[in-house]
Structures are given as C-alpha cells and as structure tokens.
Amino acid sequence: MRNQSKYLLLITILLAIYYLVCGIYLNHLGYFSQEAMFYVEKSKIVVDGLGNRLKVMGLTAPIIPFYTSFLFSFSKYTAMIAPIIASSLCTAILFFMIGSALLKRAKDDFYLLVLLIIFLFHPGILYAACSGKSIALVLVFFFMFFFNLLKFYRSNTTFHVSIASISLVLLIFCDYKFIWLTLFFIPLVLSITVKSLNLGEQESIFRLFISFNNPSLRRKLINKTFALYIILFVLPLACIICYKLLNLTHAQDLNYFSESPYATWTVLADKLSFDQLSTSTVYQIPETSILISARILLFCPLILVAIYMFRNSTYQILTLLTPFAFVEFLHIKYEKVFLVNEYYMIFLVLALLCIFYKAQTIKNQTLLKTIVGLLTLVQLYTGYIFLKNSSITEERNFITVLLNRTPDTHQDQNRELADYINHLPDGSHVLVDDAIAFPIVTFSKDIRKLTLPYQGAYLSAIESPDKYDDYVLLATPKNEVTGFTQLNDKYVPVVKKANSALKLHRVYETDDWILYKVFD
Amino acid sequence: MSIPELLVNDGFISWQDREKINDLSAKTGQSFIKIALSFGYISRKNYDRSLSNAGYVFREIRELAYDPEVIAKTELKFADQHLALPLRIENGKVITVMADPSNQLFIDFIRFTYDCEPEIILASDLDVTWLSHKLAGDKYVKSAVFELLNRDPASSAFITFSTGQLAFLFILLGLVTIGLVVSFKNTSIIINILISTFFLVAILFKLFLALTGSRFELHQAVTREDLRELKEDELPIYTILLPVYKEDKLIKKLIWNLQALDYPREKLDIKLLIEEDDDKTLNAVRNLDFPAIFEVVVVPFHMPKTKPKACNYGLHFARGKYLTIYDAEDIPDTDQLKKVVSMFGKLPSNYICIQSALNYFNRNENFLTRMFTLEYSYWFDYMLPGLDTLDIPIPLGGTSNHFKLDSLVELGAWDPFNVTEDADLGLRAYAKGYKIAVVNSTTYEEANNEPINWIRQRSRWIKGYMQTYLVHMRNPVALWRKLGWKGFLGFNFFIGATPLTFLVYPFLLAIFISYLVFDLSTIRTLFPDWILFMSIFNLMVGNILMIYINMMAVFKRRYYELILFSIANPVYWLMHSISAFKGLYQLIVKPFYWEKTEHGLSKVNSPTNIVK
C-alpha cells in the first residue's frame, strides 16, 4: 500500500510536469484563455499597483482560482504563466486524490491504468490542466464534495458531512453557479435523514411513512433534517452573505463580484456567448433542455455504469442525478449562454469516483473492466469531438492549437499594442479601461504606466485626460465588447465637447483598439 | 457485647455482611466500623440509633482539651483507619475519643503506647475524623501545600511573575509606548500585523484541530468487547477524590451517582474531601438516612484554600492503583472506571492519565447552559481528541481525569497555588515525557446557569490559564526542548492564546463597531490594504468557522436543538472577555484566590447516566 502510494505520488509529479510542459508550450504558441489573462492582470495590480488594491484583492472573482494563480505570481518569470502552473498542479492533485481513493478501495491496477489514460489523453482534462482556467479547481472541490458525501452515507460521521460542506463553499467560490447545486440537495437531505433513522423497515417510502406517523420519530426526523441542512448549507450561505456584504461595503453593489466586468471575466464571456446565440446566422446545435442530459451521457457514458452500480439505494441514485438536474437548471436559467466544458467534466469526475468507490462490490470484474475500458476509449473520442465542435471559441482554439501545434494568433494584436505601450517613454501615462482591455494590461510590463479604474484618479482622468495622462486607449466599434466601456468611439466627441482645446492624435491602431496621444 | 455484634443483633448488618466487612478489614487494615460506614453497609443514622438504644451516649468532642505530645504519638493514618484518637492523659488515663468503643486493637495500641488505660469517650465517626485531621493532619497539609514548591519550585505558581517575565513585560510596554510616541502610525500598523497574524494562525489551527478530532468520532478507544474481557476479581482498587466545599445540597445526589458506578464496591476507595470549616457539608453527611459509600477526609485549615490543596491532602490517604476526581454534581457514565482500567491495560506504560469527555445534563435549561454545552462539546469531543492525535499537550479538564496514582505522586501532584491545577498538571506530565489519552466516556456535569456565577467560574479558569502560561514560560527554551515544537506551539496557542484572545476581543470589536457606526475612515490609515484584508478575513471567516465548529460538535452529540445557538457565540465570547479581565485583575492582586462556583443551582432533574 505504501509502495503504491509512492508510485502514485511519482506518477502525479510526472503528470504535473507533463501538464506544465504542455501548458507552457501552448502558451508559447500564443494560446491564452480569457480567464488566465484576467488573473494575470489582477495579480499585477495586487503586486505592483498603486491605488485601491484592497478591492481588487478581495472582490476579484472567482476568488479561489484567482488566489491560486496569484500564489505562483511570485516572480517576473512565472507571473505570465501563473494560471497555467496553478491549473496544471491542480489537475495533478485531482489525479492524486482520485488515485488515492482508488488505491484504498478498488485494489486493482487496471483502474489506475484507466485513470492514468484519462488524465493523460482526455482532451477535457488537458484543457483543464493547460488552459490556466479554474476548471481543475472546480473539479477538485466537486470531487471532494461528492466523495465526502459518499463517505458520509457509509460512516454517518459529522467529519465527512462538514468536509463536504467546506468543499461546497470552496466550489462555490471557484464558480458561483454551483450555488444552485444546493437547490437540488433540499429533497436529497430529507432522503438521507430518512435513511439514517434507526428503523427496521428498509424501503425508503415506508421508512418515510413510519417516520411521519410516529410523533417521536417525526420530531426526530424534523430535527435531524433541519440539523443536516444547517451543517451542510449554513457555511456556504453564511460565506455568500458575508461576501455579498463585503461587495456592498467596498463596491456599493451586492453582486459586484458576479456582475461587474472589473471583478470577473465571466461577464464578458457570457456577453460573447449571448451575442453569438442571438445574432449568429449559423445554425448551432440546439442545446435544448432534453438534449443536455443526452449530450452529457454522450460525453461521459461511464456515468451510466456509475448509476448502475448505485441502483440499489434511492438516495445515492438521487445524489448522482443531482448534477444532471443542476446542469439542466443552469441551461434554463442562463438560456443564452453556452454550457462550458467544465459542466460536462464534472460528470467524468463523478463517474470515476463512483466506479472506483463501488468497483470491488461487483462480482463479474472481467465484464466490468471490459465495459469501463471500452467506454473510456469512447470518452476520449467524445471528449475530443465536444471540444472540437464547441460553440465557445476558446475551447475550439485550444483543441486546434493542441493538435495542429500551429501558433494561435488571437492575441497577437493585443500583444503588439502592449509592446507599443511598453516602449513608450518613461513617465508616460496611458488611460486604459481594464473592464475589456485586461488582455493588453496583461501583456504590459509596467502597470504603473497605466491609469486603471481601481485607482482613485481614474474618474478624473476620464474627465480631463490631458491633466493625468499622455495617451488614451479606446475600443473601436469593431470590438465585440465595446459596450462595456466608456472608453470607446463615443468618448472622443464627449470629451472634446467638455474641453475643446483637447487634441487627440492616433498613434497606434488595431482592429479592436486605437491608442491616442493627448495634447493640450 | 462488641459494637459489630450489637449491629448484627439489631438487624442493621447481616451475618454475611459482617463476614465481608471482617475480610475487608483484614485486607485494608481499617476498623470494622470504618468499613461499615464508608462502604455502605450501614447508615450513620442507624449506627447512632443502635448505639443509643444500647445505652451509649455520643459526646461533643470538638472543644475538648488535648495534649499535642500525646497526639504526636499516634499516626494520623492509623487513627483515621480506626476512627479513634487519644487526646491527653488525665488522672493516669488516656482520654481517647472513639467511634467504636469496642475496638480492641486500638485500645491495645493505647495501652502499649502510653502505658496507661484509656478512658473512652464515644463520638460520632465524623467528629472523630474532623478532630483527628485537625489535630494530627498538620504534617500532611503542609506537604499538600509545599511539596511541589520544595521539590520543583520552577513548576510552582507560588511566584506569579518571575523577574525575567516582569522585565520582559515592562521592556515591551516601554518599547510600545516609545514607538507610539515616536511614530504612532507605524507602531499601530506593526501591532495590527501581529494581532491579525496571530488570529489568523489561531483560527486555522483550531479548525485543523477540530477536523482532526472529528475524524475519530467513530473510533472507540474502549469497545464493549474490551469491557467484557475484564475480570471483576482482577480489577484494581480505584480511588475517587471528591473535593467539596459547602455542597450540602448535592450530597444525596452524589451518593446516587456513585452507587450507579459499575465497579465492585469493595474495590472503590472514595474520599469526600471536606474543608475543616465546612460544617454545612459535614452535617449533610451526618444527616444522611441511607448508607454512604464514601469515606470522609477533613482537610485542615491552611492557606491557600484551593481544590488542588484538598486533593493533595486526600492523596496521602488514597489506596488505589488508579485515581480520579469528580465534582459533587458529576454524573459519570456508569462504565467509566472499567473503561479506564481497560484502556490503561492497552496503552503503553508512559500513558499516565486518561481524560474523559465532559458534558452537561442541564443543557436545555437556559441560554447560558446551552452555550456552555456547545463549548464543552466542541472542546472535549473535537479539540482534545485533535490534540491527542497530534501529540500536543492536553490541558486536562477539571474533573474525570484518571491517573496512575504512583505516577501522579512522582509528578508532585497538583499545584495548590494554581487555580487551574488540571491544565498545569497535564503540561507537567508532557514535559516529563508522559502521555495523556482520551477515552470514549462522558461525565455529565451541571452547567452554570447563572451569569454572575458563570463569570466567577470562568474568571478562575482564565486566571489559571494565565498562571499556567506564566509558570511554564519562565524558561521558553527549556520548555521548547521538553515539549518539542508541536507541543510548544500547541501550548502557546491553547494556554497562552486563550486569555489573550479574550482580552483583545472587545477592543477589536469596539474598533469594528466604531468603524461601522461613526464611519471612522481615518482608521484605514492604521490598516494598510493587506492588514485590512487579513482583518476582514479573520472577522468573517474566523467567526463563521468558529461558529461552524461548534455546530459540528453538537451535531455529533445529536443535540440538534442547540445547533442554531452557535450563532450567539460572539455574544458568549464577550462574557469570556469580562471574565478574562476579572481574571487578569485577580492574577495581579490575589493570584491564589479560588473563586468558588456555586453548584446545585440547576432545577433540572438529572437521571443517572446508565450506559445501555
């Protein structure tokens, strides 16, 4: 066992190196995810910025991926790839966690091989590991949440339910949408409590019937259900309330962290999705409600094996079905937003967890191994297909760059513009709105050259740029997210009206940006 | 007719019991009447009745004249075993007070020792005990007070602040003052950094400990099978010390709780330690109309009048292999003693103490008892097992700590000058390389249900923690070497940090409330971004986590109705702060003063805790 753990650790280290190499290689080919660039930019502000850094420090969301990435921004050399280091290591940690759980239960090298194949070749996993996004962290906490719930079902200990609750908090702070997962646990908790009562009857519905018809049992059931709700959900709810209050006190908006493009990158990403769905003439695969679950099954057929294994227990089946309900709900709630790969990947992790948790209880191991092996290979292919045909440009780009190993040119113009700004004379100041221009800030070497919204002087600089800055960066009408900033083509007439003596001279221009020099 | 025959004839003692008493007397060296009265064979009322009917007259003996030289020739332990004491020689006779005038062995002792005939005065056993301890207990009470101080002065809290500590405190105070005068802003920022870092580490440490402790909630240190394997004949003698002071209301309850213990009666050595001036309790014992299974030991007057001094005194008369302490109102799990015996049998020899969990039987009485229950559930079910798992010194709880008696004596027993002698003893044990374990058994106590009484009790605990911290930090390097880094940090974060946290808490809360209410934006200058960030994190996450851990602990105990009360913890902590300031004041002006906690205030009927 100890030797196996050592091997697992060794494989994990090698895997982390593999992810790092891939991630850095892709980065050199020019692949950058929006999310990673956002974290790099915010880290730069926290480390080198001059102004209200507290707001950036505390209200940048999702907060845990940001801090994880921030941890690796300790030197100039790692600052640009910090999110990639974070996602690579987190994916390796996820492998280690699943591997450890596997070694403790299904003591069979075959399953370890399956796990390794998935972590080596599954395009979704590679995307989580090498893109610098928060997917890996989400998967880690998602795994911990469900793993501890399953352990709680078996042991009925407070420890596991509280660790599950803490994992849920961390999960929500990695992706706020997971708060909706709690909604589907409300009936489930009642089911868990009914199961945990000390009754002779085994069938859930009869257990419920007995519990409701006996005053003492009814009181016990209500008390226990309520207590379990509290233990499971009070921590996430309290944390969210506190976090919202912090948003209110520091940004005058309860939902600043989820609705402001200064706080989170998802606002712009969702906007792009929305535009694409509303305006695109190309017929997209309709992600209609009924098809989402079917798409999930197609993406991760292993989940069917997991469901089969847990078929004997109602509440455990309900547990497995909860993420389906959650994803369906997300699709209804955010109807004009594409479901990102992350929400498919959670099923892969859940399937692996359930299979490894229960594999040793299946008598016909040969059949099980054959099915798992075959489905794993199918999944590698479907994982590739899903990314290749994804409606999200970032995901498609990733698979293209990964397979073709050709340079990604999406950020070239931004990088060139940033280079231009880097070469401006010392002491020059550029007015930039990082709500949409964060990629340019990311590529900038000296953040102190830029006047950004987190600084007190920003609003005054917008009013009278000539007094504060030497240059102004404006978004062109072609820029897809130009509506999210004041510094766009409409800015010039407004500012000229206020100050007719102001002269602006174009010094650099790309498809999305125009850099003006300001003269008095 | 001898007294035993008289009692048998009157039907108060059966022939079989007489045989048993004689056997026990031969084994222990105690007189017949001592065993009959302290092992529950006869009640004092019946004993009085029987002797009075036979024409004996009990006399008041407390004011009788005595000759110290006569008394000096009789060893207290012998007098105590026979409930008799020679007082003086008068008219060629030794005036002797006896509870059993037919005790031939003691009469012979008088004849041989003093070469005179005794003149016997019959007195109640309690009066004889009271007088013999008062007149002949000086040697033992001096030992109880000064033994540790003489043997290991560095471990005694007799001196509260050492010179080095005073110098350190005043230099630190001076430096802070100079710093504030020279650069108020920078000094305040440094203080802020230190406090925030300290709180952050403390919160994370406590969370880690609680989670570590909660992992083992299903672990049964002693299982039912282990208990079944124990053979009653092989069980060792078990001493139980019951230090009481003015607990007259609880005596009856105490007897019921002790009788419920699942342990052979003749192998119990229960000592009720009553202070010399505590006539209330003594009379309550005298007035019992049913048999008691404890022996009364009267602790002669000597300052400081503390529980550890009483326990040290009682230790001189203890006969057991193992020893534990219960408070008068305690209801231990009935199988607790057997569990401890079984566990000691399984543990390596360097484990010298086993702590049981403490909890409250009157938890639903009012707000205070609910909060107390939340706190204890968290402390004994999560923190102590966490400390135990991580091999960090365990601050023992006030009662239900079970010792190997010889190791306890070797350690120098309790420090009578320390008002949390239990926490101090736990540390001394660790420092000497001994270990303490935690057993899966609970003692139910009475939670304090009255705020002033609660503050009194808590101020003593917090003062004791300060004393213990000061005693052991006289030489931090030596302590580091003895405890190792884990033990040292654990000690600092547990014993040291607890009073400090409560002292600082109201100030931090006041700053926060002022900031909110008066919008004191200038405070921001003293909280640079990182510090403010850390402070907000501590305030939010710290409070949430501490509340959550409390919830976990009562969830584990299945006290579901208490879960929401955890939210009131910040208010409860304010009460701790009041106590902490009271404790600090007392530490300076009267460090050895024992704030007595009133027991028996609860109106909750406490059923005996029979383990099913």
pLDDT by residue (tens digit) across A404-419?
A: 888 888 888 899 999 9
The model's pLDDT over A200-254, given as tens digits with 9 standing for 90+, comes to 776 777 777 777 788 888 888 888 888 888 888 889 999 999 899 889 888 889 9
- B220 vs A432 pLDDT, higher one: A432
**Do B459 and B377 touch, CB atoms closer than 8 A?**
no
CB contact under 8 A, B540 and A246: yes
CA atoms within 13 A on the CB side of B227: 18
Query: Would you call B42 helix, strand, or coil by DSSP?
Result: coil
Rounded to 10 deg, the angle between the B543-556 and A215-251 helix axes is 170
- Quick one: A120 and A217 in the same domain? yes
**What average pLDDT does this structure show over B388-415?**
85
Please say which residue of A404, A432, A467 terminates a domain.
A404
Cα B273–Cα B278–Cα B283 angle in degrees, nearest 5 = 90
Confidence bin at B610 (pLDDT 50/70/90): very low
Helices vs strands, H then E, count in chain B: 26, 11
B519 at interface of A, judged by CB pairs closer than 8 A: no
The model's pLDDT over B249-289, given as tens digits with 9 standing for 90+, comes to 788 788 888 888 888 888 888 888 888 888 888 888 888 77
Please say which residue of A404, A438, A473 terminates a domain.
A404
Is the pLDDT at B218 greater than 70, yes or no? no
**Do B495 and B395 touch, CB atoms closer than 8 A?**
yes
The confidence score (pLDDT) of residue A70 equals 94
Q: In three state form, how does the secondary structure of A60-108 look?
A: CECHHHHHHHHHCCCCHHHHCCHHHHHHHHHHHHHHHHHHHHHHHCCCC
The model's pLDDT over B526-558, given as tens digits with 9 standing for 90+, comes to 777 778 888 888 888 888 888 888 888 888 888
Is the pLDDT at B474 greater than 50, yes or no? yes
The confidence score (pLDDT) of residue A288 equals 59
Please state, for a pLDDT cut of 90, what percent of chain B lies above it: 7
Q: The complex's ipTM?
A: 0.80
Confidence bin at A281 (pLDDT 50/70/90): low
- Quick one: A264 and A333 in the same domain? yes
**What average pLDDT does this structure show over B237-260?**
84
**What average pLDDT does this structure show over B49-76?**
82
B515 at interface of A, judged by CB pairs closer than 8 A: no
- A276 vs A241 pLDDT, higher one: A241
Name the domain count of chain A.
Answer: 2
- A356 vs A287 pLDDT, higher one: A356
CB contact under 8 A, B533 and A223: no
CB contact under 8 A, A57 and B533: yes
Is the pLDDT at B525 greater than 80, yes or no? no
Q: Are strands A430-431 and A471-475 parallel, antiparallel or unpaired?
A: parallel
Distance CA A334, CA A342 (A): 15
**Residue A65: count of CB within 10 angstroms of its CB:** 28
Lowest average pLDDT, out of A113-122, A179-188, B378-387, goes to B378-387
The confidence score (pLDDT) of residue B599 equals 65
The confidence score (pLDDT) of residue A88 equals 96
Distance CA B456, CA B582 (A): 8
B177: Cβ contacts below 8 Å, ≥ 6 apart: none
Residue numbers in A near B564 (CB within 8 A): 230
Is the pLDDT at A1 greater than 70, yes or no? no
- Quick one: A418 and A331 in the same domain? no
Element (H, E) at A362: none
The confidence score (pLDDT) of residue B604 equals 65
Is the pLDDT at A114 greater than 70, yes or no? yes
The confidence score (pLDDT) of residue B368 equals 87
**Do A395 and A340 touch, CB atoms closer than 8 A?**
yes
Query: Would you call A359 helix, strand, or coil by DSSP?
Result: helix
Hey, of A53, A151, A158, which one would you mutate to test binding to chain B, going by the most B CBs within 10 A of its CB? A158
The confidence score (pLDDT) of residue B50 equals 84
Going along chain B from its start, the domains and CATH numbers come out as 3-136 (3.30.300.160), 156-612 (3.90.550.10)
- A324 vs B217 pLDDT, higher one: A324
- Quick one: A398 and A449 in the same domain? no
Find where tokens 């940006």 sit: A513
- Quick one: A284 and A319 in the same domain? yes
- B120 vs A177 pLDDT, higher one: A177
Q: Is the peptide bond before B395 cis (omega within 30 degrees of 0)?
A: no
Phi, psi of A519 (to 5 degrees): -120, 150
B536 at interface of A, judged by CB pairs closer than 8 A: yes
Q: Which residues make beta-bridge pairs with A517?
A: A471, A505
**What average pLDDT does this structure show over A281-294?**
64
Find where tokens 């009475």 sit: B446
The confidence score (pLDDT) of residue A41 equals 94
**What average pLDDT does this structure show over B378-395?**
83
The confidence score (pLDDT) of residue B317 equals 87
- Residue in A226, A231, A239 closest to B544 by CB: A239
Is the pLDDT at A152 greater than 80, yes or no? yes
- Quick one: A368 and A463 in the same domain? no
Angstroms from B462 CA to nearest CA on chain A: 30
B533 at interface of A, judged by CB pairs closer than 8 A: yes
CB contact under 8 A, B214 and A158: yes
- Quick one: A230 and A310 in the same domain? yes
The confidence score (pLDDT) of residue B612 equals 38
- Quick one: A363 and A302 in the same domain? yes
- Quick one: A82 and A201 in the same domain? yes
The whole-chain average pLDDT of chain A stands at 88
The confidence score (pLDDT) of residue A211 equals 77
Q: Which residue of B has its CA nearest to A161?
A: B552
**What average pLDDT does this structure show over B352-363?**
85
The confidence score (pLDDT) of residue B71 equals 82
Nearest to B579 by CA among B492, B459, B437, B478: B459
The confidence score (pLDDT) of residue A99 equals 93
Lowest average pLDDT, out of A33-47, A477-491, A502-516, B6-20, goes to B6-20
Distance CA A195, CA A201 (A): 10
- Quick one: A197 and A337 in the same domain? yes
Please state, for a pLDDT cut of 90, what percent of chain A lies above it: 51
Residue numbers in B near A455 (CB within 8 A): none
What residues make up the domain containing A499?
Answer: 412-519
Rounded to 10 deg, the angle between the B529-537 and B184-215 helix axes is 30
- Quick one: A274 and A422 in the same domain? no
Hey, of B551, B558, B565, which one would you mutate to test binding to chain A, going by the most A CBs within 10 A of its CB? B551
- B508 vs A18 pLDDT, higher one: A18
Confidence bin at B372 (pLDDT 50/70/90): confident
CB contact under 8 A, B563 and A157: no
B485: Cβ contacts below 8 Å, ≥ 6 apart: none
Give the distance, in angstroms, between the CA of residue A252 and the centroid of all CA atoms in the same chain.
25
**What average pLDDT does this structure show over B382-410?**
85
- Quick one: A170 and A231 in the same domain? yes
Confidence bin at B581 (pLDDT 50/70/90): very high
Query: Would you call A454 helix, strand, or coil by DSSP?
Result: coil
Is the pLDDT at B151 greater than 90, yes or no? no
The confidence score (pLDDT) of residue A278 equals 67
CB contact under 8 A, B536 and A58: yes
Is the pLDDT at B518 greater than 80, yes or no? no
Residue numbers in B near A161 (CB within 8 A): 555
The confidence score (pLDDT) of residue A14 equals 96
**Do B132 and B80 touch, CB atoms closer than 8 A?**
yes
Distance CA B455, CA B582 (A): 8
The confidence score (pLDDT) of residue B611 equals 43
A457 at interface of B, judged by CB pairs closer than 8 A: no
Confidence bin at A370 (pLDDT 50/70/90): very high
B361: Cβ contacts below 8 Å, ≥ 6 apart: B331, B444, B445, B446, B602, B604, B606, B607, B609
Longest Cα separation, chain A: 88
Nearest to B239 by CA among B434, B438, B404: B404
Lowest average pLDDT, out of A65-74, A279-288, A333-342, goes to A279-288
